[in-house]
């Protein structure tokens, strides 16, 4: 992180996000903004603030009733403190901008961190005591037990509210002038799918806690939540004997055969640097070895709506498929994946597995004929072998999911 | 993680410790205000102050108090308050003592946000009550100190409140547990505070505080005022005893106690002090009835005062007569609380004006003015058409005396509302007293019947011959004789009360109506704000003898009084001023009284009118000057032009242009120096110049192809602007080529 504030970019928002040079200053605009705050800028008195106002009213009444200048002085001082509070609050927000960085990937059931980056672009003054209100919710609420038409508005709102996760992160430390800080919000998504993380408001009680200033932000960032990892039982040693396919893989791995050269990236082992190639090309190059030759699996996932009728079971399918794909990839035994009759995607790199998980995150049961091969097994039946070492999934019982390799049950979840 | 110019910051526990310190400091400031009030709470304040100081130094102390004590503390305080309310004659002192106890409880117990806010309100209550009741200048300083402390306190609370739930009050068990922040030493906190102190923030905070004061002053002036005819409500809930002795009765020795007091009793502001030729006698109270212990205001005079009581803001002096030689312009008096309910009057006056509607008692015959009760606060009033005369006119006294002699018993109720003239002839009773007084009078008069003035002169000489001046008096024994008679019969020294009383009883024994008058004599001009400072040590007593016709004549028999009078008069004449540091500090108080305490709707209107006048005058003046200037410029242009004049004009224009250009360059240079100092990492003169040349060469070339010179120099300029320093070509040469390329276009 740099020591000074970076140049303003498009994704920053807040009072300091606009480039100062392009901002036209006018006293008229300033005064008008003080009288009539901008949209979504809300200032409300807190309990101490209300008490102060009542106290000021009481002292003012006594001052007028008694014509005591001492009480008038006290009244003036209280009002001046209230005005100072507003002025300092304005100073505090001035030049401050923020953005959110939801570092991916998100996974259901796993805690992840949302980073809020805050910059203070003021030249002299620090900023204090800001808080950031964050929330995350799925883009599309899942279908409930009851149809939406049969629900009351209150029930709908309660159901939506259950899906929303709210949080507030505080900037406790002083943010120096021209400084920046990163605040982290830990969130644990409950279900897979497309979600939105939103910085809904930025607030502060600074400086004296009389007034609560809230700036509505509505800074939204879409995220994908991968399926949760599940525990499953693997019995595939019998079902898929090693060496049955005899196909060699051409994936990067930890074998002895040199597969390719690539540019050095931060974090790579220095032992893998190809010094001759690096000297010739003028940049650090890294040796990439082929994975050990062994048999791999194809993972085929078909989700006809007629088969996967239960939402809970379908969620388990997604989690099961995702977990198995990751495990197989980690063991170097995943050759490719296919979803709903789509093309077979080779999983040579981690990015390919992640693309599969992305697809799983958004996967929904498809209608009849939606890419499902006619040979797909019915519920309770034995699936015929589609190809060698192909893993397919079928519902097992009311809640479980079973994985088959070439017609043999290999794993259950 | 925070970056930027990283400064050390206080941790959460250090902030809590700082909050504890600020709360204690605020509490001490609020307790200090009790010293301004004359309530019996000094011992309580001492105990509370000591406990708070101990808790500030050792914050772990409250954790040693068992929970049961904390549980019982509030009921105990309420019980004490109830008992205090039952036994105390006044409500307000009991309330103040309750406030002290609550401040003590809140300060020495561990607090969360709610209790912190309670502490602020309790402190504010004590300060405002003390300020309202005393109108003291010290209130202003304490209020400012309290405000600064409270703002800092609230600021720290806001920082702490962000990260912890402080809305819930502590339980009694928690109040007896030592929190982690209370364990370290205070010294370490101060070291940390010194480390985190940033001069910019401190300066900014100081500036803001000045802004608050300025803004509150502005608000104070512009808040609309309405005159409401009512007195201050808190006065009803507290009574106060006079500190000076200027009450309805003055016993021997009262004034001498005051003489040792060097504090200022009153301040008198004169709009025009040039006409002042003598040291004023500030006449407070006329004591017309003799008692063996001293003199006092007679029941008749009190009745007259009561009878002439009106709630008013303006009073004309009845029977004051024609003002012959008014001096001083408008006299504004600021009387400290506790001096007297009687108003000091330097002589006859035309109009007496009060700050607000108040019950005012007046006596035309004795020329007295008094409030119904002694004011708890500073009293301010104004006199106009003041004449410094030693005479108090009383045209009806002779008739009243004759009437009283003919009708010794009061016959009507109205007789109770006028002073009994016979009292001004009544002195010590008894044969022993009479014998001494008759002998002394014979010594003074030689058996002849003297007019009042002559008798007063001889009696004064006789007294000063027999008695010296001293503040301590030892009266000789004498069976059946009053104190004053024994003193007269001796050679013992005495002070002003004895001389005034002695002259009065002698005059009465000789058949001249006389009375004792108490007040102040003299005063000194303040060298900074040009007003009279009259101290308690200027307290004085003198006598008044009726001249037999229509007036009471002032006689001051105290030895040294004439000398003092002449010295004071000389000082007054020469406008000798007190320019000491004490006077400097005292002048602040008068400014406070003039500008703040006495501020009213009239002053507000005056300020608005003066601002309006100033604005209009300034506008007119500027317009006139501008018209004059344009006229002169036109005349100057219309004058015949010759070669010499043209050359001079051209030289002048060139000099102005050169000076302007130099100023612009200097400003430019200063601006970049400033930028370089502020952001050294972003400032590089070579890169900046290269950027300028790139801009210049880019703009005209937008519409046409770049020339060869441009193509050659632009990459070098770009390298200077954006490239690494190690790859730079020689900058001067590049800029020279850029200049050539620019000219070549």
Domain ranges within chain B, ordered by starting residue: 12-222, 249-427+498-597, 607-639, 684-744
Beta bridge partners of A219: A199
In order along its 413 residues, chain A shows pLDDT tens digits of 333 444 445 688 888 887 655 556 677 777 777 777 777 788 888 888 888 889 899 988 888 877 778 888 899 999 998 888 888 888 899 889 999 987 777 899 888 889 999 999 888 888 998 999 999 888 776 666 666 677 777 777 777 777 888 899 999 888 988 889 999 999 888 888 888 899 999 999 888 888 888 888 888 888 899 999 999 888 765 444 444 443 444 555 655 667 788 888 877 888 888 898 899 888 888 888 765 555 678 899 988 888 888 888 999 999 999 999 999 888 888 888 999 888 888 888 888 899 999 999 999 888 765 444 444 443 333 444 455 788 889 998 888 899 988 778 888 88
Are A344 and A261 in a shared domain? no
Residue tagged 């720290």 (tokens) = B156
DSSP H helical segments within B91-185, as ranges? Answer: 91-108, 113-134, 137-161, 172-175
Please report residues of A whose CB lies closer than 8 A to that of B128. 59, 70-71, 74
Are A264 and A313 in a shared domain? no
Burial A57-66 (b: 16+ CB within 10 A, else e): eebbebbbeb
Are A261 and A334 in a shared domain? no
Are A46 and A118 in a shared domain? yes
Structure tokens at B713: 């120099």
Alpha-carbon distance of A122 to A15, in angstroms, equals 11
Closest CA to B150 of A118, A241, A78: A78
In chain B, whose CA is at the least distance from the CA of A126?
B201
Closest CA to B484 of B234, B294, B232: B294
Give the one of B12, B132, B212 whose C-beta lies nearest to A80's C-beta: B212
For chain A, give percent helix, strand, coil, nearest 5: 30, 30, 40
* Count of other CB atoms within 10 angstroms of residue B148: 19
The DSSP line for A41-101 is EEEEE-HHHHHHHHHHHHHHHHHHHHT-HHHHHHHHHHHHHHHHHHHHHHHHHTTEEEEEE
Report the pLDDT value the prediction gives residue B67, as an integer from 0 to 100: 92
Domain holding A247, by residue range, is 233-251+295-412
Give the one of A71, A131, A170 whose C-beta lies nearest to B132's C-beta: A71
Name, in order, each residue with C-beta under 8 angstroms of A410's C-beta and a sequence gap of 6 or more. A234, A235, A236, A239, A240, A391, A403, A404
**H or E element: which one contains B694?**
helix B685-698
The DSSP line for A239-271 is HS-TTSS-PPP--EEEEEEEEEEEE--TT--GG
pLDDT tens profile A29-60 = 777 777 777 777 888 888 888 888 898 999 88
Alpha-carbon distance of B488 to B510, in angstroms, equals 15
Burial of B462 (0-12, 13-18, 19+ CB in 10 A): buried
CA atoms within 13 A on the CB side of A85: 30
Tell me the shortest Cα–Cα distance from B348 to chain A, in angstroms. 30
Assess if residue A44 is contained within a domain. Answer: yes
Are A188 and A238 in a shared domain? no
Cis peptide preceding A207, ω within 30 of 0: yes
Beta bridge partners of B539: B520
pLDDT along chain B (745 residues), means of 10: 61 91 94 81 90 93 92 93 87 88 94 89 90 81 90 90 68 88 86 84 87 90 67 52 60 70 84 75 90 87 88 75 71 85 88 85 87 79 87 86 79 67 88 89 87 91 89 77 87 88 92 92 82 86 90 88 51 63 82 78 81 90 94 90 90 95 92 74 79 79 58 86 86 91 80
Phi-psi domain of B290 (left: phi exceeds 0; alpha: psi -120 through 50; beta: other): beta
Say how many domains are in chain A.
Answer: 3
Structure tokens at A28: 């008229």
Tell me the shortest Cα–Cα distance from A400 to chain B, in angstroms. 45
CB pairs under 8 A between A and B: 152
Closest CA to B430 of B484, B502, B504: B484
Give the one of A68, A77, A177 whose C-beta lies nearest to B216's C-beta: A77
Assess if residue A204 is contained within a domain. Answer: yes
Are A51 and A198 in a shared domain? yes
Report the pLDDT value the prediction gives residue B665, as an integer from 0 to 100: 92
Burial of B118 (0-12, 13-18, 19+ CB in 10 A): middle
Structure tokens at B164: 């912890």
Phi-psi domain of B591 (left: phi exceeds 0; alpha: psi -120 through 50; beta: other): alpha
In chain B, whose CA is at the least distance from the CA of A60?
B223
Phi-psi domain of A380 (left: phi exceeds 0; alpha: psi -120 through 50; beta: other): left
Question: Max alpha carbon distance in chain A (Å)?
Answer: 103
Report the pLDDT value the prediction gives residue A238, as an integer from 0 to 100: 46
CB contact B158 to A (< 8 Å): yes
In chain B, whose CA is at the least distance from the CA of A169?
B163
Question: Max alpha carbon distance in chain B (Å)?
Answer: 135
Assess if residue A21 is contained within a domain. Answer: no
Alpha-carbon distance of A330 to A253, in angstroms, equals 10
ipTM value, please give it: 0.71
What are the distances in angstroms from CA B474 to CA A218, B47, B450, B470, B487? 92, 42, 32, 10, 9
Mutation site for A-interface testing, chosen from B219, B600, B604 by largest number of A Cβ within 10 Å: B219
Mutation site for A-interface testing, chosen from B15, B116, B154, B203 by largest number of A Cβ within 10 Å: B154
The verdict on a CB contact (< 8 Å) between A74 and B217 is no
CB contact B211 to A (< 8 Å): yes
* B67-87 helix and B91-108 helix, angle to the nearest 10 degrees: 170
In chain B, whose CA is at the least distance from the CA of A74?
B128
Closest CA to A394 of A402, A406, A386: A402
**H or E element: which one contains A131?**
strand A130-138
Portion 219-258 of B in contact with A at CB < 8 A: 219-220, 223, 225-228, 230-233
For chain B, give percent helix, strand, coil, nearest 5: 55, 15, 30
Are A381 and A258 in a shared domain? no
What are the distances in angstroms from CA A305 to CA A192, A311, A365, B212? 18, 10, 5, 70
Give the one of A3, A66, A75 whose C-beta lies nearest to B230's C-beta: A66
Alpha-carbon distance of B250 to B517, in angstroms, equals 10
Are A238 and A271 in a shared domain? no
CB contact B674 to A (< 8 Å): no
Tell me the shortest Cα–Cα distance from A199 to chain B, in angstroms. 18
* Count of other CB atoms within 10 angstroms of residue B240: 17
In chain A, whose CA is at the least distance from the CA of B215?
A80
Structure tokens at A75: 């009244």
Please report residues of A whose CB lies closer than 8 A to that of B161. 205, 209
Burial of B702 (0-12, 13-18, 19+ CB in 10 A): exposed
Alpha-carbon distance of A60 to A260, in angstroms, equals 83
Query: Is the C-alpha dihedral spanning A318, A319, A324, A327 positive or negative?
Result: positive
What are the distances in angstroms from CA B534 to CA A288, A338, B135, B286, B542? 101, 105, 19, 19, 17
Helix (H, G, I), strand (E, B) or coil at B227: coil
Alpha-carbon distance of A61 to A74, in angstroms, equals 12
Report the pLDDT value the prediction gives residue B71, as an integer from 0 to 100: 92
Tell me the shortest Cα–Cα distance from A129 to chain B, in angstroms. 6
Are A279 and A373 in a shared domain? no
**What is the pTM (predicted TM-score) of this model?**
0.65
Are A405 and A313 in a shared domain? yes
Assess if residue A22 is contained within a domain. Answer: no
Burial B586-601 (b: 16+ CB within 10 A, else e): bbebbebbbebbbbee
Q: What is the 3-state secondary structure (H, E, C) of A284-308?
A: CEEEEEECCCCCCEEEEECCECCCC
Alpha-carbon distance of A68 to B695, in angstroms, equals 66
Are A111 and A198 in a shared domain? yes
Alpha-carbon distance of B74 to B115, in angstroms, equals 13
Closest CA to B107 of B166, B34, B159, B49: B49
The length of chain B is 745
Closest CA to A365 of A282, A307, A321: A307
Report the pLDDT value the prediction gives residue A8, as an integer from 0 to 100: 44
CB contact B9 to A (< 8 Å): yes
CB contact B200 to A (< 8 Å): yes
Alpha-carbon distance of A261 to A288, in angstroms, equals 6
CB contact B5 to A (< 8 Å): yes
């Amino acid at each position: 992180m740099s020591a000074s504030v970076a140049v303003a970019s498009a994704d920053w928002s807040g009072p300091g996000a606009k480039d100062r040079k392009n901002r036209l200053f006018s006293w008229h605009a300033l005064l008008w903004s003080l009288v009539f705050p901008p949209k979504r800028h809300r200032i409300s008195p807190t309990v101490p603030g209300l008490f102060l106002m009542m106290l000021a009213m009481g002292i003012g009444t006594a001052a007028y009733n008694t014509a005591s200048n001492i009480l008038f002085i006290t009244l003036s001082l209280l009002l001046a403190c209230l005005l100072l509070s507003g002025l300092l609050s304005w100073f505090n927000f001035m030049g401050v901008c923020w953005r959110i960085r939801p570092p991916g990937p998100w996974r259901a059931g796993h805690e992840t961190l949302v980073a809020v980056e805050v910059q203070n672009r003021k030249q002299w003054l620090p900023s204090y005591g800001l808080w950031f209100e964050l929330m995350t919710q799925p883009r599309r609420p899942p279908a409930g037990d009851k149809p939406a038409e049969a629900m009351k508005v209150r029930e709908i709102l309660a159901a939506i509210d259950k899906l929303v996760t709210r949080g507030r992160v505080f900037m406790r430390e002083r943010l120096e002038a021209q400084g920046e800080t990163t605040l982290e919000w830990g969130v644990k998504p409950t279900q897979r799918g497309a979600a939105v993380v939103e910085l809904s408001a930025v607030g502060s009680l600074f400086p004296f806690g009389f007034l609560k200033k809230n700036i509505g932000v509505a800074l939204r960032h879409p995220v994908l939540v991968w399926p949760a990892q599940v525990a499953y039982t693997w019995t595939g040693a019998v079902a898929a004997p090693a060496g049955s396919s005899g196909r060699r893989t051409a994936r990067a791995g930890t074998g002895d055969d040199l597969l390719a050269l690539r540019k050095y990236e931060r974090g790579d082992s220095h032992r893998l640097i190809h010094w001759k190639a690096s000297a010739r090309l003028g940049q650090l190059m890294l040796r990439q070895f082929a994975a050990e030759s062994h048999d791999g699996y194809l993972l085929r996932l078909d989700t006809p709506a007629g088969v996967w009728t239960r939402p809970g079971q379908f969620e388990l399918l997604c989690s099961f498929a995702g977990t198995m794909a990751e495990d197989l990839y980690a063991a170097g035994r995943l050759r490719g994946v296919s979803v709903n009759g789509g093309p077979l995607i080779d999983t040579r790199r981690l990015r390919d597995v992640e693309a599969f998980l992305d697809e799983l995150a958004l996967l929904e049961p498809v209608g009849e004929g939606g890419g499902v091969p006619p040979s797909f097994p019915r519920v309770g039946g034995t699936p015929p072998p589609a190809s060698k070492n192909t893993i397919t999934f079928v519902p097992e019982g009311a809640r479980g999911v079973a994985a088959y390799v070439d017609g043999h049950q290999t794993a259950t979840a | 993680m925070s970056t930027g110019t990283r400064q050390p910051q206080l941790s959460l526990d250090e902030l809590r410790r700082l909050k504890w310190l600020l709360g204690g400091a605020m509490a001490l400031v609020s307790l200090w205000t009790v010293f301004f009030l004359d309530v019996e709470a000094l011992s309580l304040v001492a105990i509370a102050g000591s406990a708070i100081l101990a808790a500030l130094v050792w914050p772990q102390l409250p954790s040693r108090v068992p929970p049961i004590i904390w549980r019982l503390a509030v009921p105990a305080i309420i019980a004490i308050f109830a008992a205090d309310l039952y036994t105390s004659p006044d409500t307000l002192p009991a309330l103040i003592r309750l406030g002290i106890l609550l401040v003590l409880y809140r300060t020495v117990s561990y607090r969360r946000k709610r209790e912190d806010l309670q502490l602020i309100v309790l402190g504010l209550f004590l300060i405002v009550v003390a300020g309202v009741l005393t109108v003291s200048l010290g209130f202003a300083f304490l209020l400012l100190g309290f405000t600064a402390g409270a703002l800092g306190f609230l600021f720290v609370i806001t920082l702490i409140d962000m990260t912890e739930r402080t809305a819930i009050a502590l339980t009694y068990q928690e109040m007896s547990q030592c929190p982690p922040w209370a364990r370290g030493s205070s010294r370490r906190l101060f070291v940390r505070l010194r480390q985190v102190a940033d001069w910019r923030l401190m300066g900014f905070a100081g500036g803001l505080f000045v802004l608050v004061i300025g803004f509150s002053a502005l608000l104070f002036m512009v808040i609309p005022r309405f005159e409401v005819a009512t007195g201050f409500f808190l006065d009803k809930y507290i009574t106060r005893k006079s500190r000076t002795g200027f009450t309805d009765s003055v016993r021997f020795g009262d004034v001498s106690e005051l003489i040792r007091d060097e504090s200022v009793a009153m301040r008198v502001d004169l709009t025009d002090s040039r006409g002042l030729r003598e040291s004023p006698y500030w006449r407070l109270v006329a004591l017309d009835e003799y008692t063996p212990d001293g003199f006092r205001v007679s029941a008749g005079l009190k009745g007259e005062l009561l009878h002439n009581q009106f709630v008013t803001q303006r009073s004309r002096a009845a029977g004051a007569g024609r003002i012959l030689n008014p001096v001083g312009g408008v006299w504004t008096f600021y009387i400290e609380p506790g001096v007297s309910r009687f108003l000091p009057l330097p002589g006859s006056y035309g109009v007496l004006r009060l700050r607000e509607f108040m019950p005012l008692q007046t006596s035309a015959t004795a020329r007295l003015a008094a409030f119904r009760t002694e004011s708890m606060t500073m009293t301010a009033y104004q006199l106009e058409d003041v004449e410094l005369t030693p005479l108090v006119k009383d045209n009806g006294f002779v008739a009243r005396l004759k009437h009283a002699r003919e009708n010794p018993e009061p016959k009507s109720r109205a007789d109770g509302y006028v002073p009994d003239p016979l009292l001004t002839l009544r002195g010590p009773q008894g044969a022993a007293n009479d014998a001494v007084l008759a002998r002394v009078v014979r010594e003074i008069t030689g058996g002849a019947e003297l007019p009042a003035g002559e008798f007063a002169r001889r009696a004064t000489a006789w007294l000063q011959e027999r008695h010296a001046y001293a503040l301590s008096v030892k009266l000789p024994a004498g069976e059946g004789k009053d104190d004053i008679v024994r003193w007269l019969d001796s050679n013992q020294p005495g002070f002003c009360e004895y001389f005034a009383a002695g002259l009065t009883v002698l005059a009465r024994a000789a058949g001249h109506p006389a009375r004792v008058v108490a007040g102040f004599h003299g005063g000194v001009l303040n060298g900074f704000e040009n007003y009279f400072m009259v101290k308690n040590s200027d307290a004085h007593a003198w006598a008044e003898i009726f001249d037999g016709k229509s007036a009471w004549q002032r006689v001051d028999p105290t030895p040294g009084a004439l000398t003092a009078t002449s010295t004071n008069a000389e000082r007054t004449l020469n406008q000798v001023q007190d320019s000491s540091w004490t006077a400097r500090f005292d002048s602040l108080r008068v400014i406070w009284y003039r500008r703040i305490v006495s501020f009213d709707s009239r002053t507000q209107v005056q300020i608005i009118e003066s601002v309006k006048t100033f604005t209009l005058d300034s506008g007119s003046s500027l317009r006139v000057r501008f018209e004059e200037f344009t006229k002169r410029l036109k005349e100057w242009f219309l004058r015949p032009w010759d070669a010499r004049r043209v050359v001079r004009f051209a030289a002048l224009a060139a000099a102005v242009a050169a000076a302007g250009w130099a100023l612009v360059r200097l400003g430019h240079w200063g601006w970049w120096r400033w930028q370089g100092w502020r952001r050294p990492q972003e400032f590089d003169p070579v890169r900046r110049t290269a950027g300028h040349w790139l801009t210049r060469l880019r703009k005209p070339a937008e519409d046409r192809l770049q020339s060869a010179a441009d193509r050659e120099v632009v990459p070098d300029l770009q390298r200077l602007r954006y490239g690494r320093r190690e790859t730079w070509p020689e900058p001067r040469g590049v800029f020279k080529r850029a200049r050539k390329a620019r000219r070549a276009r």
